[in-house]
Structure 1
Amino acid sequence: MLRPLPAVAAALPRLRVLDLCCGAGGVSVGFHRAGFDVTGVDINPQPNYPTGPGFRFVQADALDYVADHGHTFDLVHGSWPCQRFSRATAWRGNRDNHPDLITPGRALMQATGRPWVIENVPGAPLRPDYLLCGTAFGLNIQRHRVFETSWGGGGDLLSPCWHHRQVLPFEHKGERAYADAMGCTWMTNLEARQAVPPAYSHWIATQYLTHHHSAGPGQAAA
């Protein structure tokens, strides 16, 4: 079973991450647990986005915000809308009704000159540097997400899934069932269905911190 790497944040100055299309903050919480100060940006109000030291929410267009402010952060993360690439859209809707924000989002993130991460569903046009599943973290949910990063993943760190032996089948029962299974206990079920489990972004954060620590401050690949 995949476990997050030991955080090396204590050996580094506290870093700042920009979480684009943050929703109710699943990714933000994972980065915060790894030692980052997080600014979440979403075009919609997010009343359940975490508050307190190390969290800040900005309601804004994510493309505009990263273009104007992305260069001021140590790391930029983008969870661009997945509907265009989701299997559910192919089954129940029309993918042409949903714009591709990954392509312009990637270009703007690269233009910041900062290290970056893009997360999306399998089938999205991403290089699969990391493929994460809830069952690999002991979560009682099968939720595959692909991560492309500016530093790459080498292909040998793709996480194993343990659907068949480690986790019991998940049953969608009760108002809190899905959010709790995701580890997003502060969210509604509806918010959690659009979220990334904090365990995923904590894993990605520790991968970045390990890379950043080995490369030296200011030398992490962008």
Structure 2
Amino acid sequence: MNARILPLRRPNGLRVLDLCCGAGGLSMGYYLAGFDVVGVDIHPQPNYPFPFVQADALDYAAGQGHAFDLVHGSWPCERYATVTRWRGNPGAHPDLIGPGRQAMQATGRPWVIENVPETATAGVLRPDYLLCGTQFGLNIRRHRAFETSWGGGGDLLPPCWHRKGLLAFEHKGERAYADAMGCTWMTNLEARKAVPPAYTHWIAAQFLALERSAAA
């Protein structure tokens, strides 16, 4: 566990399990929305800012996922990413989106899957939400698709604004790229695989609104 983990907050009393969490960009969004977060990844994540378990995400979801209020999965995206097609080796990367979805559904808890938009184009992931940094006022273009157990809906966001000079990897290799996403605790290398916390902060707000509506 990272000795620098942020304190528990639990203002809404809910816990989220972040599978394939990486260095915690999306975990941070849930934390800012009021959740306690536990991250799971098969690789060590020394800069992850919350309680962390190094484990196989599918196995952990099967054994522990039911104990959380919301289960999030950022299953590996390399098989569908555009850069993998350019290299001509998509078959060299596992396709865990289907098995991941099944594992999350089996928990009986609400769930969210995040991945690159190419998964939606390929029909592998249903794009209930398609988000970009420019929708949240971030100086970065980074599209991600989200499939949720509740199927979308909720607040509307402004359209993307890809103004001239704004490129997805404009700051590649620079500290400015991680900072532009709001992932200030990460290394440059970790940030290249990260997603801005603003995305799940917003996703969490949609989930909480639906929960309040269902309870009313």
**TM-score normalised according to structure 2 size:** 0.88
Q: How many residues align?
A: 201
4+ residue segments displaced more than 6 Å: none
CA–CA distance in structure 2, aligned partners of residues 61 and 101 of structure 1? 12
CA RMSD of aligned residues (A): 1.9
Q: CA shift at 1:155, angstroms?
A: 8.9
Higher relative contact order by CA 8 Å / sep ≥ 6: 1 or 2? 1
Structure 2 letter corresponding to 1:48: N
User: Does 208-217 or 131-140 show the bigger shift?
Assistant: 208-217
Preserved CA contact (<8 Å) 1:129 1:153: yes
Q: CA shift at 1:172, angstroms?
A: 1.9
1:88 corresponds to 2:87: no
- Residue 169 of structure 1 corresponds to 166
Preserved CA contact (<8 Å) 1:24 1:195: yes
Q: CA shift at 1:204, angstroms?
A: 0.5
1:24 corresponds to 2:51: no
Q: CA shift at 1:169, angstroms?
A: 2.2
Identity of aligned residues (%): 75
Q: Deviations over 1:93-147 (max 9, x none)?
A: 4000001000000001001100000000012111111000001111111100000
Preserved CA contact (<8 Å) 1:132 1:159: no
Question: In structure 2, which of residues 51, 54, 62 is the aligned counterpart of residue 56 of structure 1?
Answer: 51
**TM-score normalised according to structure 1 size:** 0.85
Structure 1 letter corresponding to 2:99: P
User: Does 154-163 or 24-33 show the bigger shift?
Assistant: 154-163
Name stretches of at least 5 consecutive residues in structure 2 with no aligned partner.
1-9
SS of equivalent residue, structure 1 residue 131: strand
Question: In structure 1, which of residues 98, 111, 120 is the aligned counterpart of residue 115 of structure 2?
Answer: 120
Name stretches of at least 5 consecutive residues in structure 1 with no aligned partner.
1-8, 218-222
